[in-house]
Amino acid sequence: MKDQTLFPLYNKRGLPETPQRLSQKSDDTPQPTHARRIYIETYGCQMNVSDSELMAGILTQNGHQTVTHIDDADVVLVNTCAIRENAETKVINRIKHLNHRKRRQPELIIGICGCMAQHLRDRLLDAAPYVDLVMGPDAYRNLPVALDSLTGGVEAYVSPKDRDPFLGLRLDRTEDYADIAPIRKDGIRAWLTIQRGCDKMCTFCIVPFVRGRERSLPLKLLVADVEKLVDQGFKEVVLLGQTVNSYHDNHSDFGDLLFAVGEVNGLERVRFTSPHPADATERMIDAMASSPTVCKHLHLPLQSGSTAVLERMRRTYTAEEYRTLVAKLRERIPNIALSTDIIVGFSGETDDEFRQTYQMMADIRYDSAFMFKYSEREGTLAHKALPDDVPETVKGQRLKQIIELQERISADINTDAVGDTVAVLVEGESRRDADRYHGKTDGFKTTVFPKANSRIGEVVNVRVDNTTAHTLIGQIV
Ligand code: SAH
Ligand code: F3S
């Protein structure tokens, strides 16, 4: 009975020819068996933020309600990250804390979702037996069924002490949630997942194991999504994927998608994250160079400046190839803003190999960088075959060196912008000063300026008067 009422709505195979998201409740929407109030807490990357919006969509379509305060909730779902050990440690501490809450509120359902759930699987239940639900990124369709099975739904009441934990850990290479309309907070910037999973298999990375094989959503559906987002008032869309530029829907590639989205009427800006250097095609560069809507900002993860390390990481490009790509990007798109990800202390990284990373950062002069110490992840190729042999203190020293270097470069680049006029999409009131707005430049620099007569959602020209390492400060001109 449960299956019959729930599955028609979620039957992927029943999709219409041109897929559409179910954005409205239809008459066949199953009545809530037992409506729950759900608080979703998100850790990790933008993909997780986007997945939480998807979870909210699935739950709401099924008659449940999401709440913005944990005190109002009878279900807490923690959407987790597994990328580095400290991401998991943070969540473990958070779950322990939630258990205190559960002592006061025994009916509370605690669910662990996302990458860490997929990574640790039922071992999570050994560490935290009070967890009721463990669900990986491809199983969110089962959330309503899971909640019913934990509580008994309408059929019977299940007391907390009789609950059997629900595990949803199957990775499904066909799951793209194409029929689910995510529920987003109102705002200026919307995140749109265009691709799930990753096929690259970098040796250090857990993502392919917890998010499964790569799959892309159809271009037509995505363009229709962007049109709807514009109708809802969003001005900027960020296309998301683990290797976003390897997007392919059997007919169109990432360049095609960028051009198509760039042409959507009323959209101010489109960005994307994160591309893989090996998939940076001419057509992608063409779209960035020629479409006025496509932002001239590229987050291009380097990881290491040493070809030998890149080989051990299986990044599939050499340091030279990466430099050539950057030179080409700068030639085709003058003033392009570049950012990157760097890992220090990967297996076997020598002083000399580290120096090559340092030198490459000094030469390329990124606008900003996310920098990490290598964190060995159980289940990855490196965990099986390459020792985590750079001492923690050495990793720490190397990280400190590149952070200092990058801070200087970012500050210098910002100082050079003094006197320039930059186009800023106004996002909201500055947290520190109610008389000022903040927004981003095309190159993704945070800019703060007095409101004058500007409005949220508008693009204004700001003359830069002053800067810090991370912010431009100016006046509307
Ligand atoms: N392609 C994805 C990568 C996600 S992980 C994207 O760009 O969205 C984000 C970054 O985390 C990676 O680029 C890498 O720099 C870092 N990272 C991944 N695994 C790591 C590990 N085991 N230790 C340290 N940093 C890691
Ligand atoms: Fe991870 Fe490499 Fe894919 S960093 S997400 S395996 S491109």
Residues 204, 376: Cα–Cα separation, whole Å: 7
Cα(43) to centroid of ligand 1, in Å?
15
CA 227: distance to chain centroid?
21
- Domains of the chain, by residue range, sit at 37-168, 189-416, 421-476
Residues 141, 217: Cα–Cα separation, whole Å: 17
Residues 312, 315: Cα–Cα separation, whole Å: 8
Residues 269, 282: Cα–Cα separation, whole Å: 20
CATH superfamily of 37-168: Methylthiotransferase, N-terminal domain (3.40.50.12160)
Residues 477, 474: Cα–Cα separation, whole Å: 9
Cα(303) to centroid of ligand 1, in Å?
8
Please, which residues bridge with residue 133 across strands? 111, 166
Q: Which token pair is 65?
A: 């309600």
- Sheet with 189-193, edge to edge strand ranges: 189-193, 236-240, 269-273
Q: Which class is domain 189-416?
A: alpha beta
| Atom 24 (ligand 1) nearest CA | 374
Instruction: Give the position, in ligand 2's atom list, of the atom nearest the Cα of 315.
Output: 2
Instruction: Give the position, in ligand 1's atom list, of the atom nearest the Cα of 380.
Output: 22
- What pTM value is reported for the model? 0.92
Which of the listed residues 85, 316, 344, 372 should we mutate to test ligand 1's pocket, taking the one with most ligand atoms within 8 A of CB?
372
- Nearest bound ligand to the CA of residue 241: 1
With beta carbons less than 8 A apart as the criterion, state whether 321 and 366 touch. no
Query: Which among 52, 159, 59 has a CA at the least distance from the CA of 109?
Result: 159
With beta carbons less than 8 A apart as the criterion, state whether 56 and 183 touch. yes
- At 317 the three-state DSSP class reads coil
Any ligand 1 atom below 6 A from CB of 44? no
- At 240 the three-state DSSP class reads strand
Cα(187) to centroid of ligand 2, in Å?
29
| Atom 2 (ligand 2) nearest CA | 202
| Atom 3 (ligand 1) nearest CA | 242
Alpha-carbon torsion 75, 138, 202, 402, what sign?
negative
Alpha-carbon torsion 269, 270, 274, 275, what sign?
negative
Q: Which residues contact 104 (CB under 8 A, 6 or more apart)?
A: none
Cα(387) to centroid of ligand 1, in Å?
18
Any ligand 1 atom below 6 A from CB of 146? no
- Nearest bound ligand to the CA of residue 377: 1
Ligand 2 proximal residues by C-beta, below 6 Å: 198, 200-202, 205, 207-208, 242-243, 276
pLDDT given at position 6: 28
Please, which residues bridge with residue 78 across strands? 41, 112
Any ligand 1 atom below 6 A from CB of 83? yes
pLDDT per residue as tens, the chain (477 positions):
232 222 222 223 233 334 456 544 444 445 455 789 999 999 999 999 999 999 999 999 999 999 999 999 999 999 999 999 999 999 999 999 999 999 999 999 999 999 999 999 989 999 899 999 999 999 999 999 999 999 877 667 778 888 889 999 999 999 999 999 999 998 999 999 999 999 999 999 999 999 999 999 999 999 999 999 999 999 999 999 999 999 999 999 999 999 999 999 999 999 999 999 999 999 999 999 999 999 999 999 999 999 999 999 999 999 999 999 999 999 999 999 999 999 999 999 999 999 999 999 999 999 999 999 999 999 999 999 999 999 999 999 999 999 999 999 999 999 999 999 999 999 999 999 999 999 999 999 999 999 999 999 999 999 999 998 799 999 999
Q: Which token pair is 136?
A: 């990986």
Rounded to whole angstroms, what are the CA distances from 440 to 356, 399, 427, 453, 472? 32, 27, 8, 18, 9
Any ligand 1 atom below 6 A from CB of 254? no
Strands 421-429 and 75-80, sheet pairing:
unpaired
Residues 325, 281: Cα–Cα separation, whole Å: 10
Please, which residues bridge with residue 303 across strands? 342
Q: CATH classification of 421-476, choosing from 2.40.50.140, 3.40.630.30, 2.30.110.10, 3.90.480.20? A: 2.40.50.140
Please return the burial class of 334, using the count of CB atoms within 10 Å of its CB with bins 0-12, 13-18 and 19+: exposed
Cα(343) to centroid of ligand 1, in Å?
8
